[in-house]
Structure 1
Amino acid sequence: MSTSGTTATTTPDIPPHVRPPGRDFRSAFRDLARGWEQRELWLQLGWQDIRQRYRRSVLGPIWITISMAVTAIALGILYSALFGLELAELLPHVLVGMIVWTFIAGCISEGSEVFVANSGLITHLPAPISIHVYRLVWRQTLFFAHNLIVYAVMLVVFPQPLWWTDLSAFLAFGLLVVNGTWVALLIGIVSTRFRDLPPVTQSIVQLLFFLTPIVWMYDVLQANPAVAERARWVEINPLFHFVELIRRPMLGQDQEWHTWFIVIGIAVVGWAMTLLVMRRYRSRVAYWV
């Protein structure tokens, strides 16, 4: 009993994991950390997504590899005839470009709908929103791994001059995952608030496919004096650097080190923007979905 005649009130300490989400950077980092701690959940969900997609299919996930191979071969034959290039030169370029592009496009397109698609889990299961992004990136990583089967076959048919230094492709893919995560988080939060953004995003991704040297070769344009100056505008496209970062070591080509600095710089700036958005709007995602 208080001697002053007033009733003393005490507020029990609330554990951090059940506190209302705050609008500070600590809450944003805690969301990312807690999502990573629950990796057993999103790793299993990512596997389940692939199983569900190819349920009752005889070949199952092998269809991912077949689809990639057919698309790359068709485009390689078509554009080698249009540009007058040797199939052995263009097809590996197209194939590896398609493998990398599939990962990039998946993170962007599916990232725009990542929270809307998981609205049931978000509204009924208290969990960090980063779990759904980790799940998406993990699923795209599994697709990437499946598509590497086509790459392995290509190395047998069209051998490439690979060296031990080309193992930097693993580090390059790690950078791609880091960038894909912030892209999915940022676009996902914004698209949850503005539902017109996902179809716009998908249209932009389709346009960027033709503006990025996937089925055509940047080096060939640079070697043509008539268009060499205009061809340099391609380097303004950030996706060009993401593709080249992995494609060059996978094809045994010399590294362009400025590409690494550009991709790392984009990762730093992108994560800074994403953390700012998470800090302010992370707690509203559950209401927007």
Structure 2
Amino acid sequence: MTASPQDWTRARRLDADGLTEELHARTGLRLTVEGPCPGGEVGAAYVRWPDGRRSVLKWRPDTRIEELRAGPVAVCEVLRAHGYPCPSTELAVQVGHAAVLVQELLPGTPVARLDHDGLDRALALNEAQSGLLTGRADIPSMPLYLLDDGPGYCLHEPLRRHGRRSRDLERRIAALGASRPRRLPGHDVVHHDFHHGNLLRSGGAVSGVIDWDGACRGDRRFDLVTLRFGLHATEQAPGVADRLDGVLDGLPGDVLRVSWAHMSLRMVDWAIRHFAPEDVGRWIDLAEQRL
């Protein structure tokens, strides 16, 4: 799937059972770990409360809980106040160097294959994110990292070293970044990892959106570019990617180019460092389509 903003290598050093023990010591609340969440996220596990209610335990290494409260937690509070289907935060605690959240478990299962109904719902959800953070300068705007490295992702050096095509791609990304703001302008909610695997489906309908760990302020249409990169990872229903490409064709050039550059850097860097060599070329192929 699309590369997450978290450095999951560091997250593996943490353990859900140990964290629940720490939470019990600090809060008196006893949570029982049921197992890891699907999708390869080593920083998320299902837990059960003493009354039998189930939730999701998530943890971020090297993060202050204040950062999450000012960013993702605050964003989700705004969304929920407007009826948007994202999880509530039930507990937020600092445990050593890690920020630990216990979040509502939304109904449904992750969408493995996006169909046209699912795309309609994704587009409607994205539209609902428009303008919700107007006047909320306290919520950080999204960094683009077109000139500098992100925290464990969007690294430039792997592209410079990998090969001719990736070097050329990095040069185009940096050249674009030199003439653009370092942060994504706008007052919309940005999910930051809005791919189909973070949409939940229940009873044939999209029932929720999860994994708001990178949520911030900016231009909601960035999430549509992320969705397009997510569709590239696995086979989808015929015509879905083409329809989304048509939507992207109608975006303002500045929004589309910086969003595409960020996602190109994010995914090609991630592919070079984590995927099989033959996969890297596929991501460069996609990146070059609009850069």
The TM tier, using the shorter chain, reads under 0.3
TM-score (normalised: structure 2): 0.27
TM-score (normalised: structure 1): 0.27
Which structure features the higher share of strand residues? 2
Bigger Rg, which one: 1
Which structure features the higher share of helix residues? 1
Higher RCO (CA-CA < 8 Å; seq separation 6+) = 1
